[in-house]
Structure 1
Amino acid sequence: MGRRNAAWSLLESGMSFGPDRTAYRFGSSALTYGELAGRCLRCASFLDSRSIRPGDRVMLSLPDTPAMVCAFLGAMLAGACPVPVNTSLHAPDYGFLLEDSGAKLLLTVPGHPSLEAAEGRCPAVLCDDMGPPGLDGLPPVFDPRPADDARPGFMLYSSGSTGRPKGVPHRQDDLLVPARTWGLVLGLTDRDVVLSSSKLFFAYGLLASLALPLAAGAATVLFPGKPGPCDVFDLMLRHRPTAFFGVPTLYNAMIRAFEPAMKESVPGLCYSAGEALPSLLHEEWARITGREVLEGIGSTEAFNVFISNRKGHSRPGSAGQTVQGFEARLVDDAGRDVPPGSQGHLLVRGEGLCREYWNRPDKTRETMLADGWLRTGDVFVEEGGFYAHQGRSDDMLKSAGQWVSPVRVEEELLRHPAVAECAVAARRVNGLDVICAFVVAAPGAATGKALTLELRKFLLGRLQEHMCPACFEFVPELPKTATGKVQRFVLRQC
């Protein structure tokens, strides 16, 4: 017997605060909770008319517009599996995603490269900002299909920070778990206005712009483009959000673009996830805005944040403490628990975790362990209940026989005024792996041998010698995923 449809449960939760309350702000328009529910039901009817059946995958290559929200929830109402994907890929990438997911339908926008990939693979429907054509002519009536754990409820793709993305299927009910776990840390209410720089195709963006605000009856600001620092400050000034969700690279850019007049529009809740937040950025943001940044760590596999700082108890350089509903362990390479203060691979366990990767039994065996534990691929140190991120397991470096955290080196390097961004990775030199720092210089900084010597001297005054990079390379930009994560595996291949 199937359970109640999770998308409808989420919509009902939002409507319980009043169907006339604003659910989404988009440009100069607004969509109420009642209107949102009606459009989602129409979208379910539309998909049903296109012979989309329970369990069928529907790929969504759509910008952050009402169409994206309605297509995602509408597909779930129809019992189908929405698959939001990165909107800035190339046609061959979409070809892989369509083949891998086995999508029966693609929803996208005119002129998008996913259309080329869909030819000969599956039908495509072009949407405007509000959804598929003819949606307004359909009645807002559809009987939501019950959840069925034998079929995926929704599926995301990993960001590809370590290579080709993997499909991460979730049950329908996993959509509701964040509100009663991480949501308790955030404390969003129906009086909140949410702004997220992360897009809806990314787990962090789907959490911040859909799962959490709809459960709380909050209003959410949608921005279809890729927001730069000035865009974010403009949106803050226009919409006065009470909660902002960003990533470290954007916080870094916003700090550099900050002007005193912007301070009054910075919301009371500022959150960072997606990658470790350097303590320098935490300190600088607090200094110039008067607001603390709450940092946390989650994953696509969890569709949640499982370690987080709390309001008024945020520790710079730490991802925080375990979120209610989750357990965490740090283990060595042999799977044995490590003592406090020692580096270890992070394992987490809790409700809502992905049970297996899509079409990847090899990766499933590596990541989804016995007794419900999930290997996150991150290395942490735990002290006093707080977890400090040391880097990805694959990114850890060895120098002079000792493990080195690239995050630790990057945090200190960022403190030099000539460094705007940096990443540390191993590079092969004369058959040996050496630590290399890839540096994006601050505007006006003169790159060259003199700056290299200055940066090494700077680090030697702050770090042990074996932790200091043996070489420095100045680059115009760092390779990143669409979600802002640095792709260190690309740097290792340079």
Structure 2
Amino acid sequence: MVMLSQVNRDSSPPDIMIPRDYNAAHDLIERNLVAGRGGKIAYIDDRGSYTFDELSKRINRFANVLKGLQVRQEERILLCLLDTIDFPTAFLGAIKAGVIPVPTNTLLTAEDYRHMLRDSRATTLVVSHLLWPHFQEIVDDIPTLRHVILSDEKVPGRLELSSLLSQASDVFRAAETTSDDPCFWLYSSGSTGNPKGTVHIHSSLVNTAELYAIPTLAIRESDVVFSAAKLFFAYGLGNALTFPLAVGATTILMNERPTPEAVFKRLRQHQPSVFCGVPTLYASMLAHPDCPGAEELNLRCCPSAGEALPQEISRQWSARFGVDILDGIGSTEMLHIFLSNRVGDVRYGTTGKPVPGYKVRLVDEDGQPVAVGEIGALEVSGPSSAIQYWNNVAKSRSTFIGDWIHSGDKYSVTADGYYVYAGRSDDMLKVGGIYVSPTEVESVLMGHEAILEVAVVGRHDDEKLIKPAAYVVLKPGWSASQKLAGELKQFVKAHLAPYKYPRWFEFLDELPKTATGKIQRFKLRSGNQNPSIK
């Protein structure tokens, strides 16, 4: 029998009791039906709305589709889906059947998908019709791939999801899985090589909801949740699937790119109370001429992750909407946020304190603890940790160190316990033998009225010594000039130690970013800048 998890929220951290016989999809759906929410709206996408009862039946139908196609327990199915009802249907339907879904970034290349299909040895591909062109030339070259399912339109010679669902039974008994069984994978960003398949177990999802979402975000049944961050990566998966399903909230899905215009449309139309964004988007929204006023919206909670949130953006958002952005950090390996600010305890310019149930530590190059105020490598331990990288022993051993995960991030901690982001390990600069955090310089520059976005990286000067260089996107109405560059240099010198100021300023139309909105500093370091530098 596959049972539900139970939680004692009177303890701190919450005492989460996950039985040995456990299926994550069964838990997240059944808890809502048991609570009498069958007729409540679970999801609203660009095509319509779906109750918890309808969602449950779709999930059961997809599980039966997989059974009918003879997809076996623990086989992998690759999902390349836009944010519509088909994503939770396929993701949770696979998990309920004991099959392992592998959601993938929807903005990759055919070669990226070829690698993932081969690496995961997927037997089934479920793909949105708009994304099919990336796959149509490669699927016949994947030896393990037996089934290709299009999610929203028919393609000759391929299966079509709605047709398959319409013919399947809406009754399905969850597969006999355990809390420690592999449940799903998420591929890492692959910024230092091919993406790595990060393996999570069945207990991971509910742990993130009970330890982070419910205590920190105070998410509840009455909430309407909208995540501009997409479902295909860890932050969005928690925001728009795990967390609302854990409490019976309603979720808004958007299949288009999260531009300020698209986000404003959903904020006005659906009046979400919880909005989940990333720092780049928050900055773009505030700078947009159509940015709404607080009286037009219904916001009460705004988490942020993906990269460090400049404190100036925090202040501007709070002043405009009367709601603090709750900056936090998570990772694919930890599944969601483990270090965060929280309602009533926000320190601008920091990532807050450890989420109860997680432990963090800062260590030097020899693995020894660093002193308060010194920069060290961030390591984290907690119950939502992945168990390995698929088929990559060397990288698994260097990242998963006993109970601890080496995050690849650099931090310092204040005397009263707030953690301050210093950058990724490979982003740190040594100027005159002293470490300089690019994030610290960026945060200061974001306080200048001309700047919309900025990235600071290292560049060699004429003596082959490393000095900071800043790549800047200006707000509308401002023009690039040597005079402005000089102004910006003086602005940094007025706020930081003199050796930290950028020696060069380059003005761009946009910064290179990943699909999740993170700035790709390695492209700036390598000289692969946007050709629109002014």
2:489 corresponds in structure 1 to 456
Name the SS of the counterpart of 1:134 in structure 2: helix
Aligned counterpart for 2:330 among listed residues 292, 298, 317: 298
How many percent identity over aligned positions? 40
Name the SS of the counterpart of 2:420 in structure 1: strand
CA–CA separation in structure 2 for the residues paired with 1:263 and 1:150 = 44
Name the SS of the counterpart of 1:119 in structure 2: helix
1:97 CA drift (Å): 1.2
| 1:376 alignment partner AA | S
| 2:199 alignment partner AA | P
C-alpha contact (below 8 Å) 1:298/1:304 kept by paired residues: yes
CA–CA separation in structure 2 for the residues paired with 1:40 and 1:99 = 26
CA–CA separation in structure 2 for the residues paired with 1:321 and 1:163 = 31
CA–CA separation in structure 2 for the residues paired with 1:182 and 1:272 = 13
Q: Please state if 1:125 is matched with 2:149.
A: yes
Aligned counterpart for 1:33 among listed residues 33, 52, 58: 52
CA–CA separation in structure 2 for the residues paired with 1:150 and 1:329 = 26
1:161 CA drift (Å): 4.5
Aligned counterpart for 2:93 among listed residues 74, 85, 99: 74
C-alpha contact (below 8 Å) 1:61/1:114 kept by paired residues: no
CA–CA separation in structure 2 for the residues paired with 1:268 and 1:472 = 38
1:249 CA drift (Å): 0.3
CA–CA separation in structure 2 for the residues paired with 1:67 and 1:277 = 32
1:132 CA drift (Å): 4.3
CA–CA separation in structure 1 for the residues paired with 2:180 and 2:207 = 19
Q: How does 1:176-325 map to 2 (within 5 A)?
A: 176-183=206-213, 184-257=215-288, 259=290, 261-264=292-295, 265-325=297-357
Listed one character per residue, the Cα deviations across residues 230-257 of structure 1 (whole Å, up to 9, x for unaligned) are 2111101111111010000000011012
Q: Please state if 1:137 is matched with 2:167.
A: yes
CA–CA separation in structure 2 for the residues paired with 1:250 and 1:114 = 29
| 1:189 alignment partner AA | R
Q: Please state if 1:367 is matched with 2:399.
A: yes
1:349 corresponds in structure 2 to 381
CA–CA separation in structure 2 for the residues paired with 1:350 and 1:298 = 12
Q: Please state if 1:154 is matched with 2:181.
A: no
1:114 corresponds in structure 2 to 135
Q: Please state if 1:10 is matched with 2:28.
A: yes
Q: Please state if 1:401 is matched with 2:433.
A: yes
C-alpha contact (below 8 Å) 1:195/1:220 kept by paired residues: yes
* Structure 1: runs of 5 or more not aligned: none
CA–CA separation in structure 1 for the residues paired with 2:489 and 2:185 = 45
2:474 corresponds in structure 1 to 441
Q: Please state if 1:489 is matched with 2:508.
A: no
CA–CA separation in structure 2 for the residues paired with 1:154 and 1:260 = 37
Listed one character per residue, the Cα deviations across residues 198-247 of structure 1 (whole Å, up to 9, x for unaligned) are 11101000000001100110000011111211211110111111101000
Name the SS of the counterpart of 2:199 in structure 1: strand
1:14 CA drift (Å): 2.5
Moved more, 112-121 or 264-273: 112-121
Distance 1:22 1:53, change over 3 A: same
Distance 1:261 1:132, change over 3 A: closer
CA–CA separation in structure 1 for the residues paired with 2:458 and 2:292 = 42
Name the SS of the counterpart of 1:234 in structure 2: helix
Runs of 4+ in 1 over 6 A off after TM superposition: none
Aligned residues: 493
C-alpha contact (below 8 Å) 1:126/1:133 kept by paired residues: no
CA–CA separation in structure 2 for the residues paired with 1:287 and 1:134 = 50
Listed one character per residue, the Cα deviations across residues 347-388 of structure 1 (whole Å, up to 9, x for unaligned) are 111112012111221211211113x01111111111212111
CA–CA separation in structure 1 for the residues paired with 2:338 and 2:140 = 40
1:441 CA drift (Å): 2.0
Distance 1:193 1:329, change over 3 A: same
Distance 1:203 1:239, change over 3 A: same
CA–CA separation in structure 2 for the residues paired with 1:34 and 1:397 = 53
Distance 1:178 1:258, change over 3 A: farther
Q: Please state if 1:167 is matched with 2:191.
A: no
CA–CA separation in structure 2 for the residues paired with 1:290 and 1:187 = 17
| 1:4 alignment partner AA | Y
CA–CA separation in structure 1 for the residues paired with 2:123 and 2:472 = 44
C-alpha contact (below 8 Å) 1:115/1:124 kept by paired residues: no
